[in-house]
Chain A
Amino acid sequence: MELMIEVKDVQFDYLSYEGQEVAALNGVTLDVKKGEFVVIIGHNGSGKSTLAKHFNALLKPSKGVVLIKGIDTRDEDMVWEIRQTAGMVFQNPDNQIVATIVEEDVAFGPENLGLPAEEIRIRVDEALKTVGMDKYANSAPHYLSGGQKQRVAIAGILAMRPEVIVLDEPTAMLDPSGRREVIETIKYLNKHEGITVVHITHYMEEAVDADKVIVMEQGKIVLQGTPEDVFSQVEVLKGIGLDVPQVTELAYRLRVEGLDVPQNLLRVEEMVDAICQL
């Protein structure tokens, strides 16, 4: 299968203001296949955002190689190509929205690409429709809820027609329904639009439907696999300061107490079924 992202033995050191080097990535190797839904978890400062910024050439490896659809991110002439292939969405919805009307905000990227007006129109309408925000095309972003603002930010990326979307804690500041809206939008894009998704989060519940979960720790990948595989390692995850979904935690405690419930439970319905069968 086609590889969207290849990261080969990457190291990255930040050069801080005082000239100190801060090692943020210490030999990371990973592949993301076309169409995959990958979730990255890891504690604060483990290197998730640093890694994510390598996916659209905001950062370049100090050592090792990052290829986006086979293009080396160190190739200065290809930076625009790479940024069009891989778009990024960040945590704070208020810092990402630049225009005073929703559709102008979504048009911002395609305008910078110098596309003809008709093409921009088509892309903006399509992107807003895809995230379910077409009704708000002429609203002021100021009046939208957090979840709606994040969907507008996602539409702005979609209008660039990317093949990969990298989301760095897009739900961290949202209320429960805003979180649900954004997660459903991401899943829709992945399933129905074939967009490859890399999603960074501290909410373990958001990882249960991923194809692959990657766990970062001190600039390295320490665990990767299906959500069932990764979250069944409750003790390992807790050992590095992470968590499992509440349902998985409950299953774990019941097992410790000797009840016969499966270890790899991730969802509310699965838990209810398992207990009813006891």
Chain B
Amino acid sequence: MSIVVENLTHVYMKGSPFESVALDDVSFEIQDGEFVGLIGHTGSGKSTLVQHLNGLLKPTKGRIIVDNIDITERTKSSKWLRQHVGLVFQYPEHQLFEETVYLDIAFGPKNLNLSNDEVEKRVREAMELVGLDYDSLKDRSPFEISGGQRRRVAIAGVLAMKPKVLILDEPTAGLDPKGRDEILGQIKDLHRERGMTIILVSHSMEDIAKLVDRIIVMNNSRIALMGKPEEVFSHVDELQEMGLDIPQIAHVIRGLRERGMDVPENIYTVEQAAAAILAMVRGRSNA
């Protein structure tokens, strides 16, 4: 499903002394089936933006069009929207409320009027996707598990809805490295196999570099940069000024180039770097 955001402005507590402009005239488009990374310093407006995309927040100004439907106009579209646009919140504890892990993940699917068998199937599938053991964890309270396990439960609850658009707001904060790689790998697969549209909000430049087709950079409530990873990551100084960075590996590549080594500029992952360095060294010994 495609998403069009036109001149979106959001002001919290408008008219009060605490008024704050969280989004200031933001416009962009996301194509059906795209995998987009959303980055920006804390407080730049990322969470406010994504909460508009599934109707949790209403714009102060501007329009949002999902799958050619103006969601800012039609109030009765909210159920349709929740079903098709899944949002994993930044703080999973805001998302969990049932007595057991099973009931929590089953909550969304149950509201879709699916049979009990189908609900159970979806819960099992979703738990497997996020690496949670069904038998040992399904009856535990979501408040009596570790922080990383809780985050996985929150992600599973959204995956169990099988949304067409999946929005993940810093889903990997608190996940261990393997969990991070596995869950992001599963999401990448869902993107590839089911053509899901995905928006990933993340502070990990490494994960962003590895996964996304395009990056949107937020800075002080506005869009500062937008483009393919290699375009965006070439603005090193600007990114650092905005409190962001480039992947650690990109710093190695910059260091090598400054020392006159012959490696290409636009390298952002360990795999690419290893290949480039090997090519350089082997090229030398063949010369």
Spell out A's residues near B (CB within 8 Å): 14, 16-18, 22, 42-46, 49, 91-92, 142, 145-147, 169, 172-179, 202, 204-205, 238, 241-243, 245-247, 249-250, 253-254, 257, 259, 268-269, 271-272, 275-276, 278
Complex CA–CA separation, A123 to B249 (angstroms): 41
| B185 interface residue per 8 A CB criterion | no
The answer to whether A243 and B144 touch across the interface, beta carbons within 8 angstroms, is no
Complex CA–CA separation, A272 to B148 (angstroms): 34
Partner of A275, one of B40, B41, B147, B261: B261
Residues of A within 8 A of B90 (CB): 173
Within 8 A of A (CB), among B90-111: 90-91
Residues of B within 8 A of A22 (CB): 144
The answer to whether B243 and A45 touch across the interface, beta carbons within 8 angstroms, is no
> Min CB distance, A16 to chain B, in Å?
5
Q: Contacts A44-B146, A49-B147 given: A145-B177 contact, CB under 8 Å? A: no
The answer to whether B176 and A242 touch across the interface, beta carbons within 8 angstroms, is yes
The answer to whether B177 and A243 touch across the interface, beta carbons within 8 angstroms, is yes
The answer to whether B91 and A145 touch across the interface, beta carbons within 8 angstroms, is no
Q: Contacts A176-B243, A241-B179 given: A250-B149 contact, CB under 8 Å? A: no
- Which residue on chain B has the smallest CB distance to residue A176? B245
- Which residue on chain B has the smallest CB distance to residue A238? B178
Give the interface residue-count category, chain B. 35 or more
- Which residue on chain B has the smallest CB distance to residue A179? B203
The answer to whether A253 and B255 touch across the interface, beta carbons within 8 angstroms, is no
The answer to whether A241 and B178 touch across the interface, beta carbons within 8 angstroms, is yes
The answer to whether B173 and A177 touch across the interface, beta carbons within 8 angstroms, is no
Q: List 12 A-B contacts (CB under 8 A).
A: A22-B144, A42-B176, A43-B176, A91-B147, A176-B243, A245-B248, A246-B249, A257-B274, A257-B278, A269-B255, A271-B255, A275-B256
Partner of B205, one of A176, A242, A250: A176
The answer to whether A246 and B270 touch across the interface, beta carbons within 8 angstroms, is yes
The answer to whether B251 and A268 touch across the interface, beta carbons within 8 angstroms, is yes
| B140 interface residue per 8 A CB criterion | yes
Complex CA–CA separation, A169 to B42 (angstroms): 17
Most interface-central of A44, A178, A241, A257 (chain B CB within 10 A): A44
The answer to whether A250 and B273 touch across the interface, beta carbons within 8 angstroms, is yes
> Min CB distance, A111 to chain B, in Å?
26
What 1/0 flags go to B139-169 for Cβ under 8 Å of A? 1110011111100100000000000000000
